Amino acid sequence: HIPLTASDVTIGSLIIASREPNAYNHRQTGFLEQLASRIAISIKHSQLYAEVREKSHIDEISGLLNRRYFDELIANEITRHLRYAGVFSLILLDIESLKAVNDMFGYLTRDRLLAEMGSTTKHTIRDSDRAFRYGGDEFAILLPNTPVERASIVAERLRKRLDSVMTSRNVSATLSIGLASWPIDGLLVNEVTGAGEAALRRAKES
């Protein structure tokens, strides 16, 4: 058993076994210790790369995934659902009047509210769903293997919880929500997102 240590932190263990007693001499154990050191460095580099890549997908203010990752993930969802059949839904949500919050109380208050609403959104949806900051005050939620009828229930539950957050903060803002479903509203990325954005505009107008 040889510890895998990188930057004075043990991140694993290299285990070599033999049925024979005293199977390894000093030269062999010395070689394995050098090998363990190189393995540890490679694993550490992989972990750091994974952390950096994950952070590149996160919007720092809301804590949700960012728009760039949304574009990547919705394309993957279409490819996956084309291969295995099924449906998925898209929720677009616009928190209106947050500009007034920014003008009255400053961007720090607005950002704290966005962070709280982002956290509320993540805790309202399923683990398999993905929430994104779609634009300035807009969120998007991808719901794999979910028909639009089920998505509307999730959207209403989310609306109530976000409204509760705003009420508790004495924020006079409204929420508009648009729904779209693949493949009913289109087969391509721009068709599905376009349908969601059109539904969101209708919600704002009404």
Q: Is 137 a catalytic residue?
A: yes
Residue 78 makes CB contacts below 8 A (sequence gap 6+) with 182, 187, 188, 189, 192
Which tokens sit at 60? Answer: 């720092």
Which residue out of 59, 129, 137, 185 is catalytically annotated? 137
Residue 173 class from Cβ within 10 Å (0-12 exposed, 13-18 middle, 19+ buried)?
Answer: buried
Number of helices (H) and strands (E) in the chain: give both, helices first. Answer: 6, 6
Contact assessment for residue 106 and residue 38, using Cβ atoms and an 8 Å cutoff: no
Q: Please list the active-site residues.
A: 137
